[in-house]
A and B are shown apart, each in its own frame.
Chain A
Amino acid sequence: MAANQKQVAISEFFEKNKHFLGFDTLNRALITAVKEAVDNALDACEEARILPDIVVKITKLDNKKDILQLEVEDNGPGIPRASIEKVFGQLLFGSRFHAIRQSRGQQGIGITGVVMYSQLTTGDPTHVESKIAKEATAVSVDIGLDTRKNKAIKSNQDRIDWGEKAHGLKVKTKMKAKYQRGRQSVWQYLRMTSIVNPHADILFIDPDGEKHHWQRVTERLPSRVEAIKPHPNGIELGQLQRLCSESSESRMTTFLRRTFSGVSGRAAKELCEVSELEEKLKPKSLNPQQVRALLEAFQGERLLKGKPVKLLNPPTSCLSPIEELLIKKGLSKTIDSKFVTTMTRAPSVTQGNPFQVEVGLIFGDGMAADKPVEILRFANRVPLMYQQGGCLLTKAIESVDWRQYGLDQAGGRGVPKGPAAILVHLASTNVQFTSEAKEALSDNETVMEEARKAMLEMGRGLRKHLEKQKKMGKTKEKFELINDIIPAIAEKSAALLELPVPDLAGSITRIMSAVIAETTTTWNKETKQTDVHIAFYNYTSRARSYTMLVNWPERQGATMVGNELGGRKEAMGVWAWKLETLQPGSRTVITYSLDGLEKGDWNETDVFYRGSQEVIGATKMDEKLLEEIRRQEEALNAPPPDEDADEEGDAEIAPEPEPAETKPTTPVGDPKQTTLFGGDY
């Protein structure tokens, strides 16, 4: 009787929660299963610093009953034999609880949910093979769930030979599910996953045996994320109570400084002051009123000299943005198109949680020009595939007037139309969803503002690109005109009149009456460098002098080689040459190569000029923008502020000058904020 009850309880649990566990429809159940297994593989590889190779295979077993078999194999660290049953057979067993940092998996329900769903719909256990590096053979075992004890049942445990493969995990499970194509499909999930995980190699074999392969486009693993201490702005009462009662610290000030991030020695004292707590109080001894007072101080409700206690921002080392170049590569590999612009905002903070917004836009042929743009949403590198309309990230896209950037958009609101795809990624230690289904991000003004700013900047990039393309087209026409057509007219007319061919220089100068810059940026297969070639033609009747400037990916670690004209560094990522005299009718060439980049990293070089006569094919330098870049560079090079610098001598520290106050949500100054590429000229 009791046994039955338990069984009922588990089925009921599943039935009641299947929407938030992700198993509410047969299509979604499959996507969820793939997602749980793939997310785990990516997380495990990332932690073990292994470049992931993941194979996903779906086979139809029984057409009528919608029974599919899913196999996911990775080359991660594997799971030690003793842990396998816990990972697969025990709910809430995970390695990531309470850690405040960005990770895909969070609750430790994931893969056990899949095992459970499999057993409930097919009655069969899940087959697992795992090999860890230090063991010669792999463990092979079938895991089922003992619904009475809510424990794993192992069967068929054995050791098998994996040949060459040093480590990894393989899961094979059967389930009632449906394979579908389209926007909400396993294919789309994996495609999106591969975009934001350019370091992963993902092979998908669909039920028809067709192979879809998304190759690794970078060897660079996502940067290591560190767990951080909680920030006072993001703490809830219960959590604070627990932290206090579990603390063994003997003074409030030390407790505050050591338990939380963003609390300096001075801030700790001030927090005690405004919450009327003695500094030498033991945190354990706080009564509920006192805890509440402290919380009010944390939340800025208790003021010191009319102001909340100033807290530092939490460190952002807990975030792992994909970063501009890799978004570019990720997008380029799945969508075949020429122009990509990306933008990684500086980390910011909302309610004590660090977050960072990244966006990417790919534009060009190969996408429908008359359909809404494709929106690719991600939270912590996990694709969001459902509830697009209700998601903060979609709203951010919709709030931008894309018409000014070259996309169609009825009334300047809503999802724009055009041959483009827009990617939005939110990296955060605490992603807020609208519901347990975890498919749409809930509204948050700070995040919205960041996302919007990123879109605007990216939009400017798109507009610049389109303008440049138009200009380049015009320049190309002019060249055809003077190089081909005018000489042909001269020759033909001379021949018809039986007269000598006239000199063309005068006509050509009159036709062009401009200085022209022609720029090419090409990947050189042999040297593995990016070659830049800029030719200037003076088609005016006077000698001209200019300072020409280019942008180059200095910050991304490129070096400039073979630059024979020399020149000088103007600012971070901006190089300049002085061209003293361009004689009328003459041509001057600047060439250099960029070393240390991969193919596709740098496809377009922007050329700027300082000088009075317009240069077709270049943009007049915006000195203000250059100033801004220099300023940010200085900020970057300045020593980072030390959190605990004022630990001992608080009393001697002079009160801070008033205007230096910063709001807790102000982003840390980051050089990426303004780039020469996204600027508005």
Chain B
Amino acid sequence: MAERKSIEETKTALHDVVREMYDRIVKGEPPTMTLPVRTKNNIGFDPKLGVYKYGKKQTIRDATSLGSAKQLLRALHVIEFIESMINDGKSSTLREMYYISEGWGLGKFQSQNESNNLAEDLEIVTRCLREDFKLRPEEDGARMIGNLTLRERNRRGEWMRINARDDVGDSGYGVPYNVEAEKIEFLEHDINFIMAIETGGMFDRLVENGFDEDFNCALLHLKGQPARSTRRIMKRMSEEWDLPVVVFLDGDPWSFRIFASIAYGAIKTAHISEYLATPTSTYLGITADDILAYDLPSDDLSKKDIEALNAELSDPRFADGWWQEQINMMLEVGKKAEQQSLAKYGLDFVTETYLPEKLQQLGL
């Protein structure tokens, strides 16, 4: 299980990766790196953790082809770079690392995606977190509004007490990339649940309509596929304060995926699902039957949408009956709808009719 590691533990774990390569060469064999298969075919439900984790399938990346040999060489460069950061007490963004790799000759990255993936690979094989590697994401953290109080340690190392309703403007409290205990502590709250919202437009609508105060909840803007820190803060709040999370997204296959990554863990980060996923979260809408029940303005599914839905049908995270039904229904109807299509019935319809009805169904 992934958990925070000490500097020494981190270094040892990284050296084990190097050791595997070195030993193989000494034995007269091609160097290798062993890691789990990172596809939907190798994720399974962990009943103890309540989330989806990588299974037992392993791939051996060995240096018999040019592509994988280069991967190994890059991994060595990244390890060297991490070690030097640890030793110097520095950190860098993933993007910075990508640019630094320009000087790595043959070990240079071809794209930022490649360097991000490799950082994840290393997390997986070492069971460390990228925070241990002193690597920061570039990703945009979420914003949050609601009557809850936390304290955040600022750049100068001082703790600042912040109420996410009274001490913030209309754009809310900006969630930093590091939301671990050394950075954020939760103090008190007066809310009944957390509502995660996909689009900025809908978030602003609910804020303007005062939904957080009327319904005693925290509103969290996911900004599309939520960043690691966004998923982590939801997880921490829901666990530490024992609050339910409801997820309000567009009604399309991509939103289903966002929900799965929040509730069960994302395929790409299944090695740290237990650390990022909130198994108690619920999908509120837009559901496939909402499109029909509320007669929402909708668009036809594109070829890509249909492919995504079909892929979801065989994704273990959507194996339960309710999801199968929803996905099949969407395929049948052939339509998808945005959150903001609710505006068809006026600006207040969402806060006065739709959400209350849906929340009631969920018993909130």
Contacts and interface: CB of A to CB of B under 8 A. Distances in A.
B225 to A, nearest CB: 34
B22 A506 contact: no
Interface stretch (B23-31, B115-123, B132-140): B23-31
A502 B18 contact: no
B70 interface: yes
Interface of A: 477-478, 480-481, 484-486, 488-490, 492-497, 499, 502, 504-507, 509-511
10 contacts: A478-B66, A480-B66, A481-B64, A481-B66, A485-B63, A493-B31, A499-B22, A502-B26, A510-B29, A510-B64
Contacts of B26: 502
Nearest to A492: B76
Interface stretch (B77-85, B175-183, B307-315): B77-85
Given A485-B70, A497-B22, A499-B22, A507 B28 contact: yes
A493 B65 CA distance: 19
Interface residues of B, number: 29
A497 B106 CA distance: 20
A486 B70 CA distance: 9
Given A493-B22, A507-B31, 18 more contacts: A481-B64, A481-B66, A485-B73, A486-B31, A488-B107, A489-B31, A492-B73, A492-B77, A492-B107, A493-B18, A493-B31, A494-B22, A495-B80, A497-B22, A504-B25, A507-B24, A510-B29, A511-B64
B17 to A, nearest CB: 9
B80 A484 contact: no
A488 B66 contact: no
B148 to A, nearest CB: 45
A494 B79 CA distance: 13
Contacts of A509: 28
Contacts of A488: 73, 105-107
A478 B66 CA distance: 7
B191 interface: no
Interface of B: 15, 18-19, 21-22, 24-31, 63-66, 69-70, 72-73, 76-77, 79-80, 83, 105-107
Contacts of B15: 496-497
Overall SS of chain A's interface: helix
A10 B330 CA distance: 80
A480 B22 CA distance: 20
Contacts of B21: 489, 493
Contacts of A484: 106
Contacts of A486: 25, 30-31, 63, 69
B32 to A, nearest CB: 10
A478 B64 CA distance: 8
Contacts of A510: 28-30, 64
Residue of A484, A486, A496, A510 ringed by the most chain B CB atoms within 10 A: A496
Residue of B19, B76, B105 ringed by the most chain A CB atoms within 10 A: B76
Nearest to A477: B66
Contacts of B19: 497
Contacts of B65: 477, 481
A485 B66 contact: yes
Residue of A478, A481, A484, A494 ringed by the most chain B CB atoms within 10 A: A481
Contacts of A497: 15, 18-19, 22
A477 B64 CA distance: 10
A509 B30 CA distance: 9
Contacts of A492: 73, 76-77, 80, 107
B22 A485 contact: no
B73 A489 contact: yes
Nearest to A505: B28
B63 A493 contact: no
B29 A506 contact: yes
B83 A481 contact: no
Given A485-B106, A493-B18, A506 B27 contact: yes
A496 B76 contact: yes
Nearest to A506: B28
Contacts of B31: 486, 489-490, 493, 507
Contacts of A496: 15, 18, 76, 79-80, 83
B342 to A, nearest CB: 46
